[in-house]
Chains A and B, each alone.
Chain A
């Protein structure tokens, strides 16, 4: 995998922080966080998104919307890693006087571009931002991360239809294609939709990438900035629960914390001590 040793260490550290924070909080969508973590990290820490660290509302910034909001701990974790929010804010998760909860919320954090949580909202909101940027002839881009289960929401397809019609070359949808939704595999729930063909049929540019390979993902997104003449869907193939063997590609882990025996595996594989969980 084309992630450097140093990056691997950072990602391991982030997985650990996400777990400790979620575990202490008493609930978390760990597996969903782990499938998209490399991509969210690359967006903020490998130069894909242009932003001003001193001004979250800089008008010319690129926007990122985590439409699959239940991976909020991954987004907030990366914002912490990028130095945009404090560790104190991150670790307040679900505590008394919590500053953040399980879904990204604009009320809680200036770096959140759209409050999400109810699925099927983010692409439409991102589209609206892309339209406004286009009206003002700004060069900024809008990146919206969707889950593959989320594509079952009908409103996603309203935006899939309208974005090419409005000529939004500044809009990129990133599909965290981890094959699993809350109760089961996506395929067992609604069959095997060919997402790429469907988006393409509505006029989207479609590319595929390994969502855990940060170099490939970064090059892909930076390349789009130069070439896109219409909205693009990036199908990112990922593993739900990536990084913890018993959670990987296992539909039981959508919204679950480990029991006593399972906890041993998490501690071993993420390098967590008893003291860190107290």
Chain B
């Protein structure tokens, strides 16, 4: 996803010299290429995330469009007050890109896991929150962020995520994508865990169960049409995310259901309010936390049995 991100950013930087690539000593692997092409549009602040976020706010007041990039954990947690006070309160045109969503930093443990960022940042007014699942979606989200005048947080993976979208895919603003259209249960997913969830849904199909699979890219604003439709059809609603089950996708959807009095039940699959266990590659850590395709499939089967 990093290469998709930087590729798209270079395309924007070429067209618009106000697009600035800001780093805090943790880059995309392609930053030297960016620097060669656009030497006056890239700055490395060193290991100083708060300084970078606040400086980005300052730049935005002078007409720049800074894209701040580093590990999501260091943005959402360490720099949270700077995102809130300096960027979002003033509704400034700063794009905050957190790489290593969920358990991507699987070898380094919970200090690097980004499993509460949606909960933390979703509570901040004015902030658009995008959670792409695939490289093509990353590029579309960067384009959308560029076109949207105001603060945006984009949460991206970093481990060669599988592509589920065609070459000519164009994201429809903040709309959700229905990837499978079944009637037995409605599965909402966000981020790069889509790969596991897609497999799990195929396993359900092999059992003769037809899931509706909805990929949610825009966490905020959230478009509730598919949730409303599922509730009206009496389908059980399952959410899957590489994030705490509190405050993220499950939280968004549970709020929609409860606030509108839909009377549906939401079954959350995610990190169950713990610091994630295990080390290794991302799949190993997903397994250790019940978030690989097999575990997700079994949980969804249980939902079917309970209903």
Contact = CB atoms under 8 A, between A and B. Distances in A.
A124 B58 contact: yes
Contacts of A162: 45-46, 48, 51, 55
Interface in B43-92: 43, 45-46, 48, 50-51, 53-64, 66, 81-82, 85-86, 89-90
Interface stretch (A81-89, A112-120, A174-182, A215-223): A112-120
Interface residues of B, number: 27
B85 A124 contact: no
B46 to A, nearest CB: 6
A106 B88 CA distance: 12
Given A125-B86, A155-B51, A161-B46, A132 B81 contact: no
Contact of B86 (A59, A114, A158): A114
A117 B59 CA distance: 19
A1 interface: no
Interface in B82-140: 82, 85-86, 89-90
B144 to A, nearest CB: 24
Contacts of A124: 50-51, 53-55, 58, 82, 86
Q: Is the interface of B mostly helix, strand, loop or mixed?
A: helix
Nearest to B56: A128
Q: Looking at chain A's contact residues, is the secondary structure mostly helix, strand, loop, or mixed?
A: helix
A118 B58 CA distance: 16
B170 interface: no
Contact of B48 (A131, A132, A158): A158
A159 interface: yes
B50 A158 contact: yes
B85 A128 contact: no
B113 to A, nearest CB: 24
Q: Looking at A115, A125, A126, which has the most chain B CB atoms within 10 Å of its CB?
A: A125
A236 B90 CA distance: 30
Of A113, A117, A126, A158, most buried by chain B (CB within 10 Å of CB) is A158
Nearest to B41: A135
Interface of A: 59, 106-107, 113-115, 117-118, 121, 124-133, 135-136, 155, 158-159, 161-162, 165-166
Interface of B: 20, 40, 43, 45-46, 48, 50-51, 53-64, 66, 81-82, 85-86, 89-90
12 contacts: A114-B57, A124-B50, A124-B54, A125-B58, A128-B62, A132-B58, A132-B61, A132-B63, A135-B64, A158-B51, A165-B46, A166-B43
